[in-house]
Each structure stands twice: as C-alpha cells, then as structure tokens.
Amino acid sequence: MKISFSGADLFLSYLQGEATLDEVIDHEAYRVVFSHRDHYGNGLTKKDIENALKGESTPFYGLKNLNENLPRIKNLINTIKKNESEWIKDVSKVFSSLLPEEHITNITVYPIIGYDAGIGLHNAVCMNLNWEPYVNDPHEFLYFIIHECFHVLYERIHRIPPLKEVRTPSGWLSYFNIFVQNEGYAVYAPLHLREERNHLKDRDYVVLFDERRIEEHIKGFLETLEFFEQTQLTFDEYCHYIFGPMRLTYRVGCELVRRIERSYGFEAVKRGIYLDADQFLSTYHHLLTKK
C-alpha cells in the first residue's frame, strides 16, 4: 500500500488558479470518483464540481466550509505524511490477520478534496480531506483507510452490481445483503485497533457500544428485511433503506460480525467474508435475535 498526495495537490493547485479542472478530472483519483458515482448513482459532470465550489448542492458533495478549512487541511496533510509509515504498518497488520490471502500492496490511497468521506474500488482508496472528523482528529483518517481498503478487497472477492442493474424485489434484497456484509465488515475491520487505542467516538462505534441503541437498530434492521420480503418499493425507497441515515447496513452489519466472533470465533469471521452475501445473512441471521 502507498499513499499518494498528487490528487489533493492538484486540486489545491486548481483552487489557486495553477491547474485546470480538466487536469483534476483526468487525475486517477478523480477518475475513481467518477467511476464510483457511475456505479452507485447517476454519474458526475464537470459542471457538478464547478457548481459545488459555488456552494450549490450537487452529486460532488463534501466541500462544506472548504475555504475556512484549508489551513486545517494542510495541517492534516502534514500529519498524514509524518505518520505515513506507521499507519501503513497498522493497515497491513489488520489485513494480514483478517484477510491473509488477500494483498494490499497494490492499493493506492489518495487523499483528495471533495466527494465522500472515503471510497474504495479499483485498487484505489480516495479520502476527502475536507471531512470534519478527519481535520478534527487525524486518527480517524487512519481508521477509514482501513474501512475503505476492506471495500477494495471485498470487490476482488464479490461482484457488486451497478445500482442501475438492480430492479426486482429479490435483487434489492440481495443488494441490501451485499451492503450488510460489505459495510458491516468495513466497520469491523478497524474495530479492535480502535478499542486498543480507545478511539471509539465515531458515531457508528458509539451506537455499537450502546446496548439500547444497537438493539433499536437491530429491531429496525429486522423490520427492514421483512419489509423488503413483503413489499414492492420505489427506487428511492429502496435506496433510503440501504443507504439511509440510520446506517443499518453499517452498524447492524458490524454487530452481526461481532456476534459471529463471540459465538464461533475469529476463523468464522474470516470465512464469512468469502460467503455469498445472501448465504452470509441466511447463515448468521439468527444471531441478531439473541444477545
């Protein structure tokens, strides 16, 4: 694994009038961003970036308070560079344990400006330096590198259909299951490192370690599964349940992995990554009905 600051440097140069937006869009990191938006949305345009920089709401989000944050972003870049070698060791240690048969050596992490907090696909991880948790606590940048690297490795093992291919109720249920497995494991991947260092203030982990709240999430999760099985929803409704604000796929997915570890051990956790998502849920669903 390596970290390349070229995408962030180019975007900062663009903001200073020293590079063109076309050059930014042609950079590998931003090509990954465009590919991600094509896969999980309705695409992205040059105009979307231009309008986002004017403060408009566009698919290229993640630019809130950018000008005010620039000094903090530059400090964050310096912090990442200072800790780069140790953080790469941390990431390598996590995956040599969790996914020893996979390799992260050809993954490039690109700190960038704009878009999502982090995305991982095509052997690339793109991380938005303008995300508030990163500039507030650079350790979060490390943990989300681990989170997004898991997505890269998951993509090597499983095919995730483009969102536009998902049309039938059974297809939506399988898509939901994919995100339960993929996001659940991505939240789980840095969990033990977070616990060792007492870095558990991210909202997903706050819920995971609050028994009442995680049980509420599990209740909502089970109701959602039942709803998917019994009701034909609109495209927007399906997306709301899969990607919605309660982050059920992330939080309940991770809680399910934790329960697999408690019930069957770490080897079962590792094997679970290789199960088809539907099989993963059918095999371990029962663990959500007991504490």
Q: Is the whole model's pTM more than 0.85, yes or no?
A: yes
Last residue of a domain, one of 127, 157, 187: 157
Element (H, E) at 111: strand 108-112
Using CB atoms within 10 Å of the CB of residue 67, give its burial: 0 to 12 exposed, 13 to 18 middle, 19+ buried.
exposed
Q: Is residue 163 assigned to a domain?
A: no
| Contact yes or no for 107/95 (Cβ under 8 A) | no
- Same-domain check for residues 197 and 77: no
pLDDT at 22: 98
- Same-domain check for residues 76 and 184: no
Give the model confidence (pLDDT) of 221-259 as tens digits: 999 988 888 888 888 888 888 888 889 999 999 999 999
Contacts of 266 (CB under 8 A, 6+ apart): none
Give the model confidence (pLDDT) of 196-208 as tens digits: 999 999 999 999 9
Query: How far does Cα 113 stand from its chain's mean position?
Result: 16
| pLDDT above 70 (res 162) | yes
Domain of 120, in residue numbers: 2-157
Query: Which pair of structure tokens corresponds to residue 227?
Result: 């709803």
Q: Is residue 210 assigned to a domain?
A: yes
4-23 mean pLDDT: 98
- Same-domain check for residues 144 and 13: yes
- Same-domain check for residues 131 and 205: no
- Same-domain check for residues 153 and 173: no
Give the model confidence (pLDDT) of 51-97 as tens digits: 999 999 999 999 999 999 999 999 999 999 999 999 999 999 999 99
Specify the 3-state DSSP secondary structure of 72.
Answer: helix
| pLDDT above 80 (res 291) | no
Give the total residue count for the chain.
291
Q: Is residue 281 assigned to a domain?
A: yes
Q: Is residue 271 assigned to a domain?
A: yes
The total domain count for the chain is: 2
- Same-domain check for residues 147 and 187: no
Count helices and strands in the chain by DSSP H and E runs:
15, 4
Q: How many whole angstroms separate alpha carbon 175 and alpha carbon 182?
A: 10
Q: Is residue 133 assigned to a domain?
A: yes
- Same-domain check for residues 30 and 147: yes
104-125 mean pLDDT: 97
